[in-house]
Amino acid sequence: MERKSKKNLVLLLAPATIIYLIVFISPFILLLAQSFWTFQSSYVSTPGFSLENYKNVLSDPYYLGIYWRTARLSFVSTLITLILAYPLARLISRLPSGKKGFLTTLVALPMIGGAMIQTMGWMSVMMPYGAINGILLSLNIIDSKIPILGTEAGILIGLVQSFFPLMALPLITSLGAIDVTLEDAAKSLGATPMKTFFTIVLPLSIPGAISGVLLVFMANLTMYVTPSILGANKIQTFGTFVYQQAVPVGNWPFTSAYAILFLLMMGALAFVSSWLTKKIQRQIYLGE
């Protein structure tokens, strides 16, 4: 019976395992192998083993600068998203179930349309004669058009709006799980609303905040559509640069090496974040 049970388990896992190997593992192995090949001309490479692509990436400040710009924009966007999402999540988490479900659905609604539709909408708003400049000019707040499209500020606006639900939803769940009687007890002991928030609400909601931060930060790092459109091809990020090298230029070996180093960076960030999350949770729940 035990042998039959193991056999059934293997048969059940086999389809998912095969799909995982084909869809995820095989492309990664090919990407790793191509990163050591030598580029000859567009879409033509010589198989072999060479560290030249990695040397080019690590020795050129321009390529490293794209890494830095991508990480900086992702960090700032994630921080802004967290600050904006926290008050809204706090409000929604304290509403009755009917209103809470309705507002939660509204928060998640932008995800249905996808990043392309949202970004194209922002593009029309940010254009020199778009809604933002039009309103400010009509109100005589500014004398000339403000350049928004093709700037880092424009990219940040698009990133914050695109991934706001990924931050708000974990926060709503985390804040909603906090026992209201804990806050009532703190208030009855003379704690001010501010002190109650920082001593009870904030520490207990940190796991949800960390989950949201990880989701948004990782999504920002690999985003292509928003930086490409709102950056107006003037600002290079990881996604736009890799597409440029892979498709128009056809330099797959260099692109593969550039992507592998980026994956290593993301893996290191994920490891540090996981370690930090566990440490914070131990401090909160176990007092270590």
The verdict on residue 107 lying in a domain is yes
Residue pair 169/108 in contact (Cβ under 8 Å)? The answer is yes
Judge contact between 233 and 151, C-beta under 8 A: no
Q: Has residue 23 been placed in a domain?
A: no
In a domain, 16, yes or no: no
Provide the domain count of the chain: 1
Domain that holds residue 183: 50-285
What pLDDT shows up at residue 287?
55
pLDDT tens digits for range 102-130: 999 899 888 877 778 888 888 888 888 88
Q: Which CATH number covers residue 190? A: 1.10.3720.10
Contacts of 85 (CB under 8 A, 6+ apart): 164, 167, 168, 171, 212
pLDDT for residue 187 = 81
Query: Is residue 264 domain-resident?
Result: yes
pTM: 0.86
**Does residue 108 belong to any structural domain of this protein?**
yes
Residue 209 forms part of a structural domain: yes
| Interatomic CA distance for residues 159 and 170, integer angstroms | 18
Higher pLDDT, 72 or 178: 72
- Give domain status of residue 90, yes or no: yes
3-state secondary structure of 63: helix
Of 104, 70, 72, the C-alpha closest to 237 is 70
Q: Establish if 28 belongs to a structural domain.
A: no
Q: Residues 148-188: pLDDT tens digits?
A: 888 999 999 999 999 999 999 999 998 888 888 888 888 88
